[in-house]
Amino acid sequence: MPGAPIAITLAPIVTWWTALHVAQVPLFALLGLAVLLLVRGLDGRAARISRGAVAVFVVVYPAFDAAVGVGSGVMLGALGPPTAERLALIEPALQALFWGPVTGLMAVVGGAAWVVALVAAAWAWRGAGARVRRAAGPA
């Protein structure tokens, strides 16, 4: 959450954190591809909206994730041994990176695009005749 210490949290896992966020860049693209394959061959407004929202998602969200995840990992890695003084020195920069207006907007736009893509894909399938499956109630 904003204001929670980032440097002290990430310092012990900085190598893993950085590698994870590097790996996530192509994984987000594969998530987008999965939705594109899901609506492949479907016509209509909902399918078009889903494809457009996926295009926004695969551009914006990995950029956000790389900026925040990889950027913070590289900053902490370059810091040297994580002493209390060094972590305190870099904390304001990490707070600005995580909660700044640019990365915040990227997170909101990318996240909203993902939700729109999935809801529109479900709507497109429903429009194509997919049945709604209801959960079984209590016995």
Quote the CA–CA distance of 65 and 28 in Å, as a whole number. 10
71's CB contacts (< 8 A; 6+ apart) are: 97
**% of residues, the chain, pLDDT over 90:** 81
Is residue 122 within 8 Å of 128, Cβ to Cβ? no
Does 37 have pLDDT greater than 70?
A: yes
Q: Residue ranges of the alpha helices (H) in 66-83?
A: 71-78
Would you state the pLDDT for residue 81? 87
Is residue 64 within 8 Å of 103, Cβ to Cβ? yes
Question: What is the reported pTM?
Answer: 0.84
Is residue 64 within 8 Å of 110, Cβ to Cβ? yes
Quote the CA–CA distance of 114 and 28 in Å, as a whole number. 10
Residue 95: pLDDT band with limits 50, 70, 90: very high
Would you state the pLDDT for residue 82? 84
Residue 80: pLDDT band with limits 50, 70, 90: confident
Q: What is the mean pLDDT of the chain?
A: 92
Would you state the pLDDT for residue 139? 59
More confident residue, 132 or 40: 40
Indicate the residue type of 87.
L
Burial group, residue 65, by CB count within 10 angstroms (0-12, 13-18, 19+): buried
